Amino acid sequence: MNRGLRSLTLGVAGLLAGLGGAQAEELKIGMITTLSGGGSSLGIDVRDGFLLAVKQAGAGDVEVLVEDDARKPDLAKQIADKFIQRDKVDILTGIIWSNLAMAVVPASVRQGVFYISPNAGPSALAGKGCHENYFNVAWQNDNLHEAMGGYVQSNGFKAPFILAPNYPAGKDALTGFKRYYKGTVSGEIYTKLGQKDYAAEIAQIREAKPDSIFFFLPGGMGIAFMKQYAQSGLDIPVFGPAFSFDQGILKAVGDAALGVKNTSQWSKDIDNPANKAFVDAFQAEYGRLPSLYASQGYDAANLILAAKAKAGGTGDAAAFRAALQEADFASVRGAFKFASNHHPIQDIYVREVVKEGEVLTNKIVGVGLTGHANAYVGDCKM
């Protein structure tokens, strides 16, 4: 009921704002994201970033419906069907998890709806399964892991231990890491998605005696892992994608995260006007520092708004698609364009977790990959 109420409120707010605006074509956006349970901080940040951009644009003719998928693929599918059939949305967005994206995206884009991904970017949707109506504004899943693979290799580590959950993005992660890390790994584990106890895995790491650890455990999984790792008495350098060391969860991880190097396509200290304005506005609006996910939600909304300004709306699908592909908006990441498979070409930074006063946060210490697209461009025939 809570969920229904929330989307109702948003809808009413959108309608009221719409009364004052110009009579342009209405744009209806359905956001399916994770707002409850272990992965909820991700979805909340995507939603807040997205809504901030819509609010800033003063776009009264844009209506955003938000529903919680509770990280359940079947629920996400139901919400998508409802959005498409009953609410007649033009655009879907918001999904955090790749297994949910696989349940929703292919069927939705086939029905003529646009899907703009602010997070999940499974390889299946970048390669053979790509679609003209599917755009990913965040990254292809492999990207951050590829950059970290290269970084670990170039910093002279010879035996990393790598682990990820057993689901599409987890496999993409380790594949991506090994695409740029050419040496041998001292161990490789796939854990259960949503697993909370990593005692058995930490014991395996201890036994393998690696010189570094690379892990991809998004959301609550990474928090649990880092907390348990900190108690294990092990002291091996940890590397990972930004997901487990981002603003939203650093407080929960605590000092155990200090000094960890992580890769990200965004950081709050990227020096450009759009980013500065975003960080300030987000803090002013929500009273907390934005995360990577918030930046992705913000960019997703701005991409849609820019395409709407150019093409008028989704009425002319071909024009709207072309406008999306142009990506004529000021990304908080700086330079941004789409590769031919509708995934970003962008720089991936290496950040380090530091303490600014009492607040744990990240600062950029280097660039992992420059102008990086993804490995699946060639497989995508649109």
> How would you classify the pairing of strands 344-356 and 337-338?
antiparallel
Contact letters (x/-) for other proteins, 4-43, by CB under 8 A? Answer: -------------------------------xxxx-xx--
200 binds other proteins, rule: CB under 8 A: yes
**Of 282, 265, 350, whose CA–CA distance to 44 is shortest?**
282
Gap between the Cα atoms of 361 and 354, Å rounded? 6
CA atoms within 13 A on the CB side of 315: 8
| Chosen residue from 54, 91, 147, 174 binding other proteins by CB under 8 A | 174
Q: Which is nearer to other proteins, 43 or 121 (CB)?
A: 43
192 binds other proteins, rule: CB under 8 A: yes
Positive or negative: CA dihedral 257, 175, 99, 143: positive
| Chosen residue from 96, 224, 270, 300 binding other proteins by CB under 8 A | 224
Distance in Å, CB of 1 to other proteins, minimum: 10
* C-alpha distances out from residue 86 to 78, 83, 99, 103, 314, Å: 11, 6, 24, 19, 18
231 binds other proteins, rule: CB under 8 A: yes
| Chosen residue from 166, 322, 356, 363 binding other proteins by CB under 8 A | 166
Q: Which is nearer to other proteins, 220 or 313 (CB)?
A: 220
Q: For residue 360, report the phi and psi dihedrals to the nearest 5 degrees.
A: -80, 135
Counting residues that bind other proteins (by CB under 8 A) gives: 33
Record the tokens describing residue 319, joined without a space.
């024009």
| Chosen residue from 6, 55, 206, 337 binding other proteins by CB under 8 A | 206
Tokens 């607040």 belong to: 359
Q: Which is nearer to other proteins, 28 or 171 (CB)?
A: 171
Q: Which stretch binds other proteins (CB under 8 A): 18-26, 137-145, 190-198, 315-323?
A: 190-198
Report the Cα 314 to chain-centroid distance in Å.
24
237 binds other proteins, rule: CB under 8 A: no
Q: Which is nearer to other proteins, 120 or 189 (CB)?
A: 189
| Chosen residue from 56, 232, 272, 325 binding other proteins by CB under 8 A | 232
Q: Which residues pair with 114 in a beta bridge?
A: 91
| Chosen residue from 56, 153, 204, 325 binding other proteins by CB under 8 A | 204
197 binds other proteins, rule: CB under 8 A: yes
Tokens 């009953």 belong to: 86
Gap between the Cα atoms of 329 and 56, Å rounded? 14
Gap between the Cα atoms of 116 and 102, Å rounded? 14
202 three-state secondary structure: helix
Q: Which is nearer to other proteins, 255 or 356 (CB)?
A: 255
User: Interface residues for other proteins in 310-349 (CB under 8 A)?
Assistant: none
| DSSP code string of 37-77 | STTHHHHHHHHHHHHHHHHHHT-TTEEEEEEE-TT-HHHHH
190 binds other proteins, rule: CB under 8 A: yes
| Chosen residue from 9, 12, 88, 207 binding other proteins by CB under 8 A | 207
177 three-state secondary structure: helix
Q: Which is nearer to other proteins, 135 or 167 (CB)?
A: 167
CB 182 within 8 A of CB 280: no
227 binds other proteins, rule: CB under 8 A: yes
Task: Catalog residues that contact other proteins under the rule CB under 8 A.
Answer: 35-38, 40-41, 166, 171, 174, 188-192, 196-197, 199-200, 203-204, 206-207, 220, 223-224, 227-228, 231-234, 252, 254
